[in-house]
């Protein structure tokens, strides 16, 4: 299964990057007819400026299309997409969908004895559909300290698959980016999926699906990224998971599963006491629904 998933993703990459006019125009027209893509937000709305379907898919947007919410303590959405789930990490359990949880240590590819500051912390999972803008940005200021490539499956991450496949995010291939900030550590996880031909990062270039058997760790000397800065992009739709420590982040209580987000919009605050300062009318922490464990 895993070998077939990787073969299919590599084949998709070759087609998506093909600059042969017949192939390029067929894929672009098919894509635009199947999805409600808003090209008016792109740096270029002229299809002739894109040399392949891939270049259209990873298009940049005009800066004014995604303003970054101001405020030193304000957290912003790292991507366009739909909230799958968000809330508190209950011990080491994250909510995948109602009635289905998965383990934090497994998600981070840690040994059981390893400790992490994200137990009982907070998380948000954002699904990027094919029509969405596919570049991932920083939710707040941070210093990249480590990136861990975790090989794995390439299950689809659409709503149906997430509801049916146990521990999906902890089983799929992913890139785990660790950051330090004045308000404490946080993590951005870029989860690959079926047909995802790779993940491109600003610090390591393109990372393609690999057949490695074990996680690959890369250390970085405190690379700085400012809030709203581009971290990387997907070569097709996928998912971003953000993890924050127990006391250093709170989400707006108005956020809920199924809500559509735009990169740069405020989703909460980071830092002890920052929530009340940034959002005086929303003093409550957004909590996860009760977790009943297991999966359908």
Catalytic residues: 80, 137, 238
CA 196/CA 156 separation, integer angstroms: 9
Question: Whose structure tokens read 């996928």?
Answer: 238
CA angle 71, 72, 73 (to 5 degrees): 95
CA 262/CA 280 separation, integer angstroms: 23
Q: How far is CA 65 from the centre of its chain?
A: 20
Cα separations in angstroms, 126 against 85, 88, 240:
8, 15, 5
Of 82, 104, 80, the C-alpha closest to 93 is 104
């Amino acid at each position: 299964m895993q070998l077939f998933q990787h073969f299919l993703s590599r084949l998709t990459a070759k087609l998506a990057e093909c600059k042969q006019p017949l192939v390029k125009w067929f894929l672009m027209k098919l894509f635009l007819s199947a999805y409600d893509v808003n090209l008016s937000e792109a740096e270029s709305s002229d299809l002739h400026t894109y040399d392949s379907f891939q270049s259209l898919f990873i298009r940049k947007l005009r800066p004014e299309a995604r303003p970054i919410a101001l405020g030193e303590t304000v957290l912003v959405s790292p991507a366009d997409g739909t909230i799958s789930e968000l809330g508190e990490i209950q011990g080491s359990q994250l909510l995948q969908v109602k009635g289905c949880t998965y383990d934090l240590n497994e998600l981070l590819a840690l040994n059981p004895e390893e400790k992490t500051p994200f137990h009982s912390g907070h998380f948000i999972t954002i699904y990027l559909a094919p029509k969405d803008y596919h570049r991932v940005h920083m939710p707040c200021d941070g210093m990249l300290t480590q990136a861990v490539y975790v090989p794995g499956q390439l299950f689809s991450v659409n709503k149906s698959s997430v509801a049916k496949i146990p521990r999906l995010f902890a089983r799929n291939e992913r890139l785990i980016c660790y950051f330090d900030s004045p308000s404490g550590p946080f993590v951005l996880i870029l989860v690959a999926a079926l047909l995802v031909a790779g993940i491109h990062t600003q610090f390591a270039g393109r990372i393609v699906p690999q057949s490695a058997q074990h996680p690959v760790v890369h250390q970085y000397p405190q690379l700085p990224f400012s809030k709203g800065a581009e971290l990387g992009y997907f070569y097709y739709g996928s998912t971003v998971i953000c993890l924050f420590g127990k006391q250093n982040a709170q989400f707006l209580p108005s956020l809920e599963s199924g809500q559509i987000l735009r990169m740069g919009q405020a989703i909460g605050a980071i830092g002890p006491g920052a929530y009340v300062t940034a959002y005086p009318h929303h003093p409550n922490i957004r909590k996860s629904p009760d977790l009943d464990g297991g999966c359908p």
